[in-house]
Amino acid sequence: MSAPPAPPEEPPLSPPAPGVSGIAAPMQPSLLQAFGGGTESSEEAQRAREEWEALEEIQPGLPGKSGAVPLISFNEALQHFQTADLSACRKKIQATARRQGLAALLRFLFGPPRLQQQLQGERDLALAMAQCGLDDSEAVHMRILQTIYKKLTCSRLGCPRYGAHWEELGFQGADPGTDLRGTGMLGLMQMLHFVMDAQTLPLARQIFRLSHHETQNFPFCIMSVNITRIVLQALREECLSRECNRRQQVIAVLNDVYAAAFLQLYRVWKSQHKTIADSGFLLKELELSAKKKPKQLLKSLEAYVSRSPVADGIQRLSPPSGSSSISAGRAGEEINFTGVCDLQVVLKLASWEETGRKNRAARGRPAAGAGAHQEGSDLAGNAPGSPPLSQGSPLAAPEHVGGLETRSLGPNALISHQ
């Protein structure tokens, strides 16, 4: 019997050349296929590319629906709440602060005027929105949330309903709805007005950038909710009734006081190098300003708006008291600040700087700048090298108010309790 034929000899493996990897040649085609060289991998890559491009068209928070999420204007959102059934929310509202005994007598004798009857419906609408929680099933609620995210982050894409990206925006967790206690949808509505008004959007983004500062950071949205809570308290205590009666508006006044308080906070926080440890004290100062001197807050806001590039250097005058800046029946129209203009504030700042330049020239010193609002001046209108505003100015914050003292507070201090 003859022996079976020997298997053919395999050629000996030659050692790799210097500088060449020792991967066997038969492995190379499979590696190329894994990186898209094969037909199947190419199809998978194409499908992945199509899914990625389709992400922009997915509507966050509303599963099962597709299509780009358009921005929503403040007027459109307000119209939704005007026509929505808020009967359950209206049952919870407390229109005014309850006073008894001596406090009620003092308020009757020396307190602010009461809100006129024709404005009480608009006031109740604002208070009802504050009792309305964020609802995932309401498309308008989700559009409000997405619009705030896009305008603050300058993003063209939307974002998921839940996730860590909301913490980057300044909420405490992955669900913004849990941080709206006490302000409800009014808290988001005031944020929406802040970022959708062309005159205050630059300010909103400046504050948002400051909130991410290395040492002066703070949670932007939590701070915003606290400012809305201050505005609500001032409304309930009728501290804003005089301004509402004068302008024949309520919601527009609330939005202006909110923006003015945020502007005041931003100026003090940035110029005095405040940190999160100072937040409780600063919020208390804002509360006192909103209740005791709301008109000064509004004047400072109007002065800021008048100096902004959006104003194009044109001084805006207050319209008649019967006009409304919200124009609830005309969706999509620009929302403008009304009834808070005070030309004397701007003229006083310009006069102060002109006097300073003349005094420096008389002493032989160079002028600090050629214009009242040259590049490099701060938000309060101070030119470089010029002295800061005095503590008596509404644009400057006192170091101590009402015997309060600064104490170290953690981030949770931003959540105040009614």
Rounded Cα distance between 336 and 305, Å, is 10
Sign of CA dihedral 266, 269, 273, 274: negative
317 φ, ψ (degrees, to nearest 5): -100, 155
Q: Are 361 and 110 in contact (CB under 8 A)?
A: no
Confidence at residue 158, expressed as pLDDT on a 0 to 100 scale:
86
Higher pLDDT, 62 or 100: 100
Tens digit of pLDDT for each residue in 215-253? 999 999 999 999 999 999 999 999 999 999 999 999 999
Q: pTM value?
A: 0.61
Rounded Cα distance between 62 and 79, Å, is 21
Confidence at residue 108, expressed as pLDDT on a 0 to 100 scale:
52
Please state the domain extents for the chain: 74-95+119-341+388-414
pLDDT over threshold 50, residue 411:
no
Provide the token pair at 166.
């909301």
Q: Where are the alpha helices (DSSP H) in 55-138?
A: 74-83, 87-90, 101-110, 120-130
Tens digit of pLDDT for each residue in 179-198? 998 899 999 999 999 999 99
Mean of the per-residue pLDDT values for the chain? 72
3 state DSSP class of 388: coil
Confidence at residue 92, expressed as pLDDT on a 0 to 100 scale:
86
341-378 as b/e: b if 16+ CB within 10 A: bbeebbeebeebbeebbeeeeeeeeeebbeebbeeebe
Find the distance separating the first CA and the last CA of the chain, reported in whole Å. 105
3 φ, ψ (degrees, to nearest 5): -65, 145
Confidence at residue 318, expressed as pLDDT on a 0 to 100 scale:
38
pLDDT over threshold 50, residue 323:
no
Q: Is residue 87 very low, low, confident or very high in pLDDT (cuts 50, 70, 90)? A: very high
